[in-house]
A and B are shown apart, each in its own frame.
Chain A
Amino acid sequence: MGNNLVMYEEELQQINRICDTLHKEANAKAVLVIDKNGQAIAQGGEVEHLDVTSLSSLTAGNVAATGGIAQLLSEKEFAGQFHEGERTNVHLSIVAQRLILVVLFDERSSLGLVRLRVRKAALELTATIDQLVKKSESSAQPSVFAEITDADIDNLFND
């Protein structure tokens, strides 16, 4: 997917829907979709009390570190990870090579159910990302950025 990840309305809505469905079907507390570089992309469920930005950066760091371990062991990247907490468990999986799908769940659900539902959601997410890649390759970048002037950039810093 080119240099930059570009997200459009249609695909973001699809991803949000996938998050909502996964949240419900897995009886999860919350679902997050994160770019591997640590940017939050979409969420579903009870996220009001979560620091999504910090969670995204740390999760990406975690996945990157685990990927580094896999490399040292000549393993393929670990497809999934599970962290067990006292009240909240975390399931992480890598989707379409560049997204991280995070499911937070408690005793209302189980690892088995989460795994099952994640598998389906991952397929749907992959399809959406493929569509996104095609779109950003076919359509020339909208011109908003080409029109940015030095003054626009300078204005950002006038405080």
Chain B
Amino acid sequence: MSFINYSSREINCKIVYYGPGLCGKTTNLQYIYNKTNPEAKGKMISLATETERTLFFDFLPLSLGEIRGFRTRFHLYTVPGQVFYDASRKLILKGVDGVVFCGDSQIERMEANIESLDNLRTNLAEQGYDLDKLPYVVQYNKRDLPNAAPMAELEETLNPTKVPQFEAVATKGNGVFDTLKAVAKLVLTELRKGS
């Protein structure tokens, strides 16, 4: 649910990073925050527990520049990954314009990935959204780890609809901006369709 302000000439969109706990969603936002010019970003907010696990959400407002005289602003959110925070995840999906599914490449986390992806579909459906109709990309994070599953296997299991996908090492920033750009582009393309 983007917010188009003809008066201040702004487009505001909401992008949600979804995925199992500890897959690297917060790390994605932190990297984006650290690499963005001060004038293009607001404060990054993390509602986290003492152990730095995301409790409710992380929030990062970003300004990407102008398009046809409209300033484009993206609000990036992450969800808490732990299974028991399902109620919070549902709330954060409200009004979403684009989704990044952040998968954990480690073979041991395959089940957690599958569960989280199912959960994403279910929670979106509850809000009246269809993942297949939303701007949506997949990121395979932690490609640096020795126990990372082969890409082909991840693709087959987590990306049956073949949406744009990116390999990432969020701690180093690899793939982080590619992922963001891809989803932002899909969101703007959707806007053009006038949905």
A23 within 8 A of B: no
Chain A residue with the shortest CB-CB distance to B64: A156
- By the criterion CB–CB under 8 Å, are A145 and B192 in contact? yes
Q: Which of B6-14, B21-29, B112-120, B143-151 contacts A (4 or more CB under 8 A)?
A: B6-14
- By the criterion CB–CB under 8 Å, are B91 and A58 in contact? no
B67 to chain A, nearest CB (A): 5
B191 within 8 A of A: yes
- By the criterion CB–CB under 8 Å, are B14 and A37 in contact? yes
Residues from chain B with Cβ under 8 Å of A5 in the complex: 1-4
- By the criterion CB–CB under 8 Å, are A39 and B188 in contact? no
> Contacting B181 at CB < 8 Å: which of A39, A144, A152, A157?
A157
Q: Which of B55-63, B100-108, B153-161, B162-170 contacts A (4 or more CB under 8 A)?
A: B55-63
A-B pairs with CB below 8 Å: how many?
A: 120
> A145-B191, A148-B68, A148-B192 given as contacts; is B56 within 8 A of A65 (CB)?
yes
> Contacting A37 at CB < 8 Å: which of B1, B6, B192?
B1
Residues from chain A with Cβ under 8 Å of B67 in the complex: 148, 152-153, 155-156
Residues from chain B with Cβ under 8 Å of A36 in the complex: 94-95
Expressed in whole angstroms, the Cα–Cα distance for A23 and B58 within the complex equals 31
A68 within 8 A of B: yes
- By the criterion CB–CB under 8 Å, are B1 and A3 in contact? yes
Expressed in whole angstroms, the Cα–Cα distance for A36 and B14 within the complex equals 12
B→A interface (CB under 8 Å): 1-8, 12, 14, 42-43, 45, 47, 56-57, 59, 61, 64-70, 72, 75, 87-88, 90-92, 94-95, 181, 184-185, 188-189, 191-192, 194-195
Expressed in whole angstroms, the Cα–Cα distance for A156 and B92 within the complex equals 26
- By the criterion CB–CB under 8 Å, are B94 and A37 in contact? yes
- By the criterion CB–CB under 8 Å, are A58 and B45 in contact? yes
A147 within 8 A of B: yes
Chain B residue with the shortest CB-CB distance to A141: B194
Expressed in whole angstroms, the Cα–Cα distance for A67 and B127 within the complex equals 14
A→B interface (CB under 8 Å): 3-9, 11-13, 35-39, 41, 51, 53-54, 57-58, 61, 64-65, 67-68, 72, 141-142, 144-148, 152-157
Expressed in whole angstroms, the Cα–Cα distance for A152 and B59 within the complex equals 26
Chain A residue with the shortest CB-CB distance to B189: A153
A116 to chain B, nearest CB (A): 29
- By the criterion CB–CB under 8 Å, are A37 and B91 in contact? no
> Contacting A7 at CB < 8 Å: which of B3, B45, B57, B69?
B3
Residues from chain A with Cβ under 8 Å of B192 in the complex: 145-146, 148
> Contacting A4 at CB < 8 Å: which of B1, B64, B72, B90?
B1
Expressed in whole angstroms, the Cα–Cα distance for A7 and B11 within the complex equals 10
Expressed in whole angstroms, the Cα–Cα distance for A12 and B4 within the complex equals 12
- By the criterion CB–CB under 8 Å, are B43 and A54 in contact? yes
- By the criterion CB–CB under 8 Å, are B4 and A7 in contact? yes
Expressed in whole angstroms, the Cα–Cα distance for A4 and B193 within the complex equals 12
Expressed in whole angstroms, the Cα–Cα distance for A57 and B67 within the complex equals 24
Please name 4 further chain A to chain B contacts, defined as beta carbons within 8 Å, in addition to the given A7-B4, A57-B75, A68-B91, sorted by A numbering: A4-B2, A38-B14, A144-B68, A148-B191
> A58-B45, A65-B88, A146-B192 given as contacts; is B7 within 8 A of A9 (CB)?
yes
